[in-house]
């Protein structure tokens, strides 16, 4: 039988043929894809002609195309629609891919050709994009061991192979721990305080159980965000909030088969050894060389500077929450009380809670809203289509075109939790954009979220936090969809990690503007546009407990930097003790002995944020400053939007981020815009 992953897809827009792909296709496809890519590399190496940009760099850039498509399909499924078989394949193919990647960067003959082009680049009359590709490729080879001796190259290979396996195992353990916990409630009194929608969703979960496991009159709550967050925010039963919070905080920290403590220590130790092998003091030094922040010192100074400004505000915020807890007979505020009493305080201060807002944020309306805003800013049209394959029936698919009807991108949107889907929200790509042989090959972009599901009586009604999450991921998607560069490795979101959050975080700002909210915030029953009074309350409450929120983000950034730029990892004996030390300056709540953040910190141990978690705050400085331009000229000002599109969204990584930013803004960003927006300075 022919393997669909190895054929030309011959599908509409060259999209992935999910319905034809079976699990058994993946391993043969990966092996063949690696062989094909190796043959393309061999052809570059064996070419007797003098190395040029075209016969070396361009050939290398466009090699491995088939393998890239197979990998993007497989690893996206492993995040959004996984199972035991897919996870087993991931463990098998990851070392193969790591070996292949190292076969390229440690190929001495290939590196000599790249080095020759690099040293003679003035002869080749390269444009700025070609120059950037050359510089990045040359630097990537050097940074990943091209100059190492034979023995050290072998050591690097082993380290990289181990890291790829450990990272996968970390993620699988978290997914298993998330799936393994359920809070079963059979006494209706224990539901007091919970919104009707949360109760109905819990009832649906209980009813989905196999017949033999069903209990009459029962409700199930899980650690998936749409179930966990409402429970922690509204459930009056403090004992059950504690049970949920402890289960959530104990993921990967239970000394069972899914324990991540040793995996964390192994990962940070191997990253440190790898950095040392390559001539860097720490993993953070290695990573940050290719970031806007440049060094651990600069990142730590940035975080500590914000910490100094945020801490007084955070302490005031915490006191307000403690005071309202005391009024409700809670003497010591614990982590499982935070969201619950914060919501009560919010209601007291602003007469606002998510249950008042949710009727105005029906998912379908919010989707139309982001599409309308994207159209008003960037002249984009989104048409839902049914002529391309999906990996799950819940996924929505769209064709994206410009104002002239020209095809720009395929857009996949996957909104609800499932057993085989990891928690959180992310944007990803099934195919990058590039230009070759006169063709501008367009991207296939996806966003994956875990929002509140519709129930029998209600559509999916989003919390305001879920609304901002959707805007955030859609901002990333715009960065991918509007890409317009020549080379795939410089396209779309292939930019410095502390720049990649700018398009996502700036897009969140429209959620707080009446002019934008009027486009989509309509009551799901009456069609009434969200009242100005509620819009004002959203704006008034936008800085609610911002000091605490900032401190929380800074604590994660400092923990990340602690793991990757601090003491020698081999000397760390206890993950929990190390974490407590890293959190010392940011801790407000009493520690929970049974919980650990690091063992479930997927951003840095499974995702790509190691030594990069600070980038959320870094990008907030950029986005606050950038949005000032829209506020000065009008939030739908076409000229400002065009400048942002031409200098940021379409440019990928073809220039240094600060150069692109200054082209848009005319100056470097000013942190005061963020501090003012956050209410940390006046």
Task: Summarize pLDDT for 632-682 with one digit per residue, the tens.
Answer: 999 999 999 999 999 999 999 999 999 999 999 999 998 788 888 887 776
pLDDT, residue 115, reads 97
pLDDT greater than 90 at residue 69: yes
Q: List Cβ<8 Å contacts ≥24 apart for 625-628.
A: 625/665, 625/669, 625/670, 625/671, 625/673, 625/674, 626/502, 626/506, 626/661, 626/664, 626/665, 626/669, 627/506, 627/509, 627/673, 628/673
Asked whether the beta carbons of 129 and 485 are under 8 A apart, the reply is yes
pLDDT, residue 13, reads 97
587-596, 617-626, 638-647, range with the lowest pLDDT = 617-626
Q: Between helices 150-180 and 261-277, what is the axis angle to 10°?
A: 160
**d(C-alpha 353, C-alpha 344), whole Å:** 8
- Residue 493's pLDDT band (cuts 50, 70, 90): very high
pLDDT, residue 560, reads 97
pLDDT greater than 90 at residue 588: yes
- For the chain, percent of residues with pLDDT exceeding 90: 92
User: Active-site residue 515, yes or no?
Assistant: no
Task: Summarize pLDDT for 142-181 with one digit per residue, the tens.
Answer: 999 999 999 999 999 999 999 999 999 999 999 999 999 9
Per the DSSP assignment, residues forming a β-bridge with 384 are 398
DSSP 3-state assignment of 440? Answer: strand
**d(C-alpha 380, C-alpha 581), whole Å:** 49
Task: Summarize pLDDT for 22-39 with one digit per residue, the tens.
Answer: 999 999 999 999 999 999
Mean pLDDT of 307-319: 94
pLDDT, residue 627, reads 95
pLDDT, residue 606, reads 93
pLDDT, residue 682, reads 66
Report domain 4-147's class.
Answer: mainly alpha
pLDDT, residue 210, reads 83
- Residue 194's pLDDT band (cuts 50, 70, 90): very high
DSSP 3-state assignment of 570? Answer: helix
pLDDT greater than 70 at residue 285: yes
Task: Summarize pLDDT for 332-354 with one digit per residue, the tens.
Answer: 999 999 999 999 999 999 998 88
- Counting Cα atoms < 13 Å in the Cβ hemisphere of 237 gives 15
**d(C-alpha 557, C-alpha 609), whole Å:** 10
pLDDT, residue 46, reads 97
pLDDT greater than 80 at residue 427: yes
pLDDT greater than 90 at residue 417: yes
Q: Enumerate the domain spans of the chain.
A: 4-147, 181-249
pLDDT: is 560 or 355 the higher one? 560
- Written as six digits, the tokens of 10 are 């011959």
Give the chain's length.
682
Task: Summarize pLDDT for 93-151 with one digit per residue, the tens.
Answer: 999 999 999 999 999 999 999 999 999 999 999 999 999 999 999 999 999 999 999 99
Catalytic residue among 129, 473, 501, 620: 473
pLDDT greater than 90 at residue 212: no
């Amino acid at each position: 039988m022919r393997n669909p992953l190895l054929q030309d897809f011959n599908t509409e827009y060259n999209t992935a043929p999910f319905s034809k792909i079976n699990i058994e296709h993946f391993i043969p496809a990966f092996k063949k894809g690696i062989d094909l890519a190796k043959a393309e590399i061999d052809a570059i190496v064996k070419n007797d002609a003098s190395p040029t940009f075209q016969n070396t760099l361009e050939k290398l850039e466009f090699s491995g195309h088939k393998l890239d498509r197979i990998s993007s399909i497989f690893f996206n499924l492993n995040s959004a629609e996984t199972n035991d078989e897919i996870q087993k394949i991931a463990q098998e193919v990851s070392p193969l891919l790591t070996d292949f990647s190292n076969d390229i960067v440690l190929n001495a003959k290939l590196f000599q050709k790249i080095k020759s082009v690099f040293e003679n680049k003035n002869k080749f009359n390269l444009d700025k994009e070609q120059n950037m590709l050359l510089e990045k490729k040359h630097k990537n080879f050097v940074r990943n061991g091209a100059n190492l001796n034979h023995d050290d190259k072998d050591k690097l290979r082993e380290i990289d192979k181990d890291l790829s396996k450990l990272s996968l195992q970390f993620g699988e353990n978290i997914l298993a721990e998330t799936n393994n916990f359920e809070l079963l409630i059979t006494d209706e009194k224990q539901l007091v305080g919970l919104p009707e929608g949360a109760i109905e969703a819990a009832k649906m979960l209980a009813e989905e159980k196999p017949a033999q496991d069903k209990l009459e009159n029962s409700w199930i709550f899980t650690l998936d965000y749409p179930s966990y967050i409402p429970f922690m925010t509204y459930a009056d039963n403090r004992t059950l909030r504690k049970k949920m919070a402890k289960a959530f905080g104990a993921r990967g920290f239970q000394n069972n088969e899914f324990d991540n403590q040793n995996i964390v220590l192994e990962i940070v130790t191997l990253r440190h050894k790898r950095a040392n092998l390559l001539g860097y003091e720490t993993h953070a030094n290695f990573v940050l060389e290719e970031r806007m922040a440049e060094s651990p010192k600069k990142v730590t100074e940035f975080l500590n500077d914000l910490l100094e400004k945020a801490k007084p505000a955070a302490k005031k915020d915490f006191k307000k929450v403690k005071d309202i807890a005391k009024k409700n007979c809670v003497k010591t505020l614990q982590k499982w009380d935070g969201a619950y009493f914060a919501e009560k305080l919010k209601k007291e201060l602003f007469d606002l809670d998510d249950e008042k807002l949710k009727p105005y944020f029906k998912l379908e309306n919010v989707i139309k809203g982001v599409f309308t805003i994207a159209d008003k800013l960037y002249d984009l049209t989104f048409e839902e289509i049914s002529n391309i394959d999906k990996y799950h029936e819940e996924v929505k698919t769209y064709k994206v075109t410009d104002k002239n009807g020209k095809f720009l991108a395929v857009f996949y949107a996957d909104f609800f939790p499932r057993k085989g889907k990891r928690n959180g929200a992310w944007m990803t790509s099934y195919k990058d954009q590039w230009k070759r042989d006169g063709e501008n090959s367009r991207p296939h972009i996806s966003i994956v979220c875990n929002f509140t599901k519709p129930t029998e009586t209600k559509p999916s009604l989003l919390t305001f936090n879920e609304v901002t999450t959707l805007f955030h991921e859609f901002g990333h998607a715009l960065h991918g969809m509007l890409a317009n560069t020549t080379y795939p490795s410089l396209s779309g979101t292939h930019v410095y990690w502390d720049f990649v959050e700018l398009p996502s975080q700036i897009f969140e700002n429209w959620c707080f503007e009446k002019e934008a909210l009027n486009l989509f915030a309509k009551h799901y029953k009456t069609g009434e546009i969200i009242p100005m009074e509620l819009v004002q309350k959203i704006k008034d409450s936008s800085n609610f407990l911002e000091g605490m929120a900032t401190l929380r983000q800074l604590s994660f950034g400092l923990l990340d930097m602690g793991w990757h730029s601090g003491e020698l990892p081999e000397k760390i004996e206890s993950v929990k003790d190390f974490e407590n030390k890293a959190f010392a300056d940011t801790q407000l709540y009493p520690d929970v002995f049974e919980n650990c953040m690091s063992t479930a910190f997927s951003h840095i141990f499974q995702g790509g944020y190691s030594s990069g978690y600070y980038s959320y705050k870094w990008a907030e400085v950029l986005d606050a400053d950038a949005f000032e331009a829209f506020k000065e000229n009008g939030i739908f000002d076409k000229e400002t939007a065009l400048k942002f599109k031409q200098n940021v969204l379409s440019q990928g990584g073809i220039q240094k981020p600060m150069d692109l930013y200054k082209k848009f803004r005319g100056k470097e960003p000013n942190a005061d815009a963020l501090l003012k927006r956050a209410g940390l300075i006046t």
